[in-house]
Structure 1
Amino acid sequence: MSAATLTRPSAGPTSKFIVTFPRLLRSELIKFLTVRSTLWSLSVAVVLVIGFGAIMASASKSQDAFGDGVSVGAMAPIVGVYFAQLVYVVLGVIGIGSEYSTGMIRSTLSAAPTRTPALLAKTVVLGIASFVVSFVSIVVAFFLVQAILSSTDHAASLGDPHVLRMLVGAALYLSFMTMFSLSIGAIVRNTAAGISIVVGLLLILPTFLPIIPWKPLKEIVKYLPGVGDAVMLPPGQSTHTAWVGFAILAAWTVVGTIVAAVLLKRRDA
């Protein structure tokens, strides 16, 4: 009597789909482009930058210069950045806070079990998108301002001292502020709390700490994230030089992202 050998039927080829960082980037880009709140937020930010630039130029035709001989034509396109930065803060926080509130974060982390690449992909997409959109809007504001000031002596050109650095620096400032806000949103996992923390660091503490008669508190103000605006200001208009101020903001962003990555790996979704 011979024994029959039973064999299992072939299960077919196994899936070769591997989650790579470029695929995570693509996934985050799709999310970014398909969420209405993101597009509306960016639209508002663009309007603020261009609109306030035009208003500043129209209202300052008789102003000679800002800072170290920097003309109105160079400074006016930057004014709207201070209003638009609040929109970019919200954009950064809701970039991940909304996923926690809707539960989508579970799907995101299931697709990327190591978690850190998912956070980095989201950071890269938001950082690049905010830089591109803000830079385009700032350049549009710049040329609109020059058109408004064309009949005066206060117009500027890209070849003037500090002008190109100010325009690029303004976009860098908004980009890193967006990424920093994203890291705070990832740390606290709550949209309202994240926005409150960033606004506190950006606007409230720099306003109220200097009026407290204690020198250490006044020194703290010099190292808050908001000093990164030095990168878009004329010389002499900030506590720090342009790139030192930007380095402080970059350091906040890097540290915030590292803390967010560590907590993301340790905590449940």
Structure 2
Amino acid sequence: MVVQTGERLDRARLTWGGQFFAEFLKLWSMPQTTVLYAVTAIVVVGFGYAAVLVAGMDADGGMPPIDAFLDPTHLTLSGVGLAQMAVACVGVMALSTEYGSGLIRSTLVAAPRRGRLFLAKAAALGLSTFAVMVPTAFTAFLVAREPLESLLGTAWPMDAVVVRALLGTGIYLTGIALLGLAAAALVRYTAGGIGVVFVLLFVLPMLPLVLPVSARETVEAFLPADAGSRLMKVTTPDAVLNAGTGALVFGIYIIMALVAAWAVLSRRDIR
């Protein structure tokens, strides 16, 4: 298997398609990739189903979950907030493992144009994550659909708006994976890259709590996780950002991170 992969990599040298294929092979040759994608899928589907069941029990107990009725589709995606860290780890390790093992030197010998190499890594990671996470989002919705309709007391069809939210979930998680890749390029170490993404997703959203209430909601809306989460919501009543503007803000964060990572990787010594 190692020999076959080496031969494929040798044939793929220096062309864009070859670099993409090589990075795709390397990504999926890491056992962590399959494990972390599987963990993400299990958490998204399992927690979404559990959230709907708990909301149903609350309703039976006389405490109707208002948020569930405002955006039932988003309730089925409740596991995304927890699972996103696993996807981020895939992005980090897509590059950091090469620095840790020293394979980055061989990679740069075969592909000395570092900018194009980084774009190939980003493309392989992005397409892989999107291809896995979109079916995961649809599965989460379909699995939780029956108890959700029982909770609502009415049918909840998979219309165009719901499909947009499910596709948006795949886009959001793809963006998180790319943030992980950018973090790995900037710090080069697995633990450091994971730490950077953890701060962006879980620590940074806590900082607006020290702000006045009048400014807190606006600041929160423009943070990466909150802006990106608008992609997964069907309704955004009285929200600072809607799905379109949230996607724009989130996309700007991703582009800025990738550009910074590309610049650093292109100019920094590999040692």
User: Following the alignment from structure 1 to structure 2, what is the Cα–Cα distance between the partners of residues 202 and 39?
Assistant: 23
Aligned to 1:250: 251
Q: 1:203 to 1:263 in 2, by over 3 A?
A: same
User: Following the alignment from structure 1 to structure 2, what is the Cα–Cα distance between the partners of residues 65 and 130?
Assistant: 32
Please give the TM-score of this superposition, normalised by the length of structure 2. Answer: 0.84
Correspondence 1:91-240 to 2 at 5 A: 91-152=90-151, 153-159=153-159, 162-212=161-211, 220-226=219-225, 227-233=227-233, 234-236=235-237, 238-240=239-241
- Asked whether the 8 Å contact 1:231–1:245 carries over to 2, the reply is yes
Deviation at 1:202, TM superposition (A): 1.3
- Could you give the per-residue CA deviations for residues 88-137 of structure 1, whole angstroms, max 9, x where no partner exists? 11111111111111111111111111111111111011111111111111
Q: Tell me the secondary structure at the aligned position of residue 86 of structure 2.
A: helix
Give the alignment's Cα RMSD to 1 decimal. Answer: 2.5
Aligned to 1:43: 38
User: Following the alignment from structure 2 to structure 1, what is the Cα–Cα distance between the partners of residues 170 and 126?
Assistant: 10
If each structure's helix is expressed as a fraction of its own residues, which one has the higher value? 2
Structure 1 runs of 4+ off > 6 angstroms? 214-218
Deviation at 1:210, TM superposition (A): 2.6
Deviation at 1:209, TM superposition (A): 3.1
Equivalent AA in structure 2 for residue 40 of structure 1 = V
User: Following the alignment from structure 1 to structure 2, what is the Cα–Cα distance between the partners of residues 149 and 210?
Assistant: 32
Q: Tell me the secondary structure at the aligned position of residue 106 of structure 2.
A: helix
Q: Tell me the secondary structure at the aligned position of residue 78 of structure 2.
A: helix
Equivalent AA in structure 2 for residue 99 of structure 1 = E
Deviation at 1:236, TM superposition (A): 2.3
Deviation at 1:68, TM superposition (A): 8.0
Q: 1:65 to 1:22 in 2, by over 3 A?
A: farther
- Could you give the per-residue CA deviations for residues 25-62 of structure 1, whole angstroms, max 9, x where no partner exists? 11011112211011100110010011011101211223
Stretches of structure 2 that go unaligned for 5 or more consecutive residues are 1-9
Q: Tell me the secondary structure at the aligned position of residue 78 of structure 1.
A: coil
User: Following the alignment from structure 1 to structure 2, what is the Cα–Cα distance between the partners of residues 111 and 225?
Assistant: 35
- Asked whether the 8 Å contact 2:12–2:18 carries over to 1, the reply is no
**Larger Rg computed on CA atoms:** 1
User: Following the alignment from structure 2 to structure 1, what is the Cα–Cα distance between the partners of residues 264 and 212?
Assistant: 36
Aligned to 1:58: 53
Q: Tell me the secondary structure at the aligned position of residue 76 of structure 2.
A: helix
- Asked whether the 8 Å contact 2:12–2:22 carries over to 1, the reply is no
